[in-house]
Amino acid sequence: MKLTTKKKIGRNDPCWCGSGNKYKKCHLAQDRQGSTAPPPVKSSGWKRSLDRKLRIELKSKEQIEGIRRASQLTREILTRLEDIADVGVTTGEIDQFVYDFTVERGARPATLGYKGYPKSCCTSINEVVCHGIPSDRKLLSGDIINIDVTSLLDGFFGDASCMYLIGDVSEDARQLVEITKECLDLGIAAVRPEGRIGDIGHAIQTHAETHGYSVVRQFVGHGIGTKFHESVQVPHFGKPGDGPWMVPGMVFTVEPMINAGRYGVKILDDDWTAITRDGSLSAQWEHTVAVTETGVDILTA
């Protein structure tokens, strides 16, 4: 999901806490002081505020189970691809498998036709950051590839991606893939009720930069569930204690894109494929997660 700018709450807008008072007479002074006091998680007023200001759809238990079913189909596809993604296989053949398997299970590949995207998954090799379009390109020994799959099942979406090492992969490439997976795990570990979205990005950015890597800024995680892309945005960089609050019922993706070089990217002429601007390797892992009363539920686990 491309990063977009979040509109700030105006002084005369209703306060984010759901009190019904104007922001300037409620939490403005407290926010300016950098207060970390969380909103009342179980407050119906807070939920109304989420809907009005951030357009975040809090999911019911029934909806989360629907998202889980779609997510588990996505997980099964990615697991089966472990035996398919190999030297000599084309990314087009991978895409055909994703399409056939998804349809056989009574679902639909969510990417197919989405805003004109022509394929059933994304296959991003080496310097491709994301949104690589499957083609007749054969996988070569030494390649690293991210395969990103989103299943639409019974009206619910489940989104995940994995990295695959093809043949004899260099130690540098292998380390990038491993550290990126650690970034994903640390980001998910920061998901908790009464935490902030910025906590996720801070955990990811700190770990990546400690190892000399950079975090892509142009693409972020996103809300998901009854639509492919929903609010909230989940940057994989940032400051702790910053951004929207996390509350039970929020469902979103965490999908860090980590570059071996600088974080700049450029989009190719197909209007989809994003590559590193400096030609360095890039890696990505992704899960769909739900915020629970006590922590996090990884729906694509």
Q: Which residues contact 266 (CB under 8 A, 6 or more apart)?
A: 274, 275, 277
| SS percent in the chain: helix, strand, coil, step 5 | 30, 25, 45
Mean pLDDT of 186-193: 97
* Structural domain spans, the chain: 61-298
Between strands 230-234 and 274-276, the pairing is unpaired
pLDDT the model gives residue 12? 76
Range 61-298 classified under CATH 3.90.230.10: yes
Query: Over the stretch 111-132, which tens digit does the pLDDT of each residue have?
Result: 999 999 999 999 999 999 999 9
pLDDT the model gives residue 162? 98
Q: What is the C-alpha separation between 182 and 294, in angstroms, rounded?
A: 22
Query: Over the stretch 144-182, which tens digit does the pLDDT of each residue have?
Result: 999 999 999 999 999 999 999 999 999 999 999 999 999
Q: Which residues contact 264 (CB under 8 A, 6 or more apart)?
A: 276, 277, 278
Cβ(140)–Cβ(91) below 8 Å: no
What's the gap between Cα 293 and its chain centre? 21
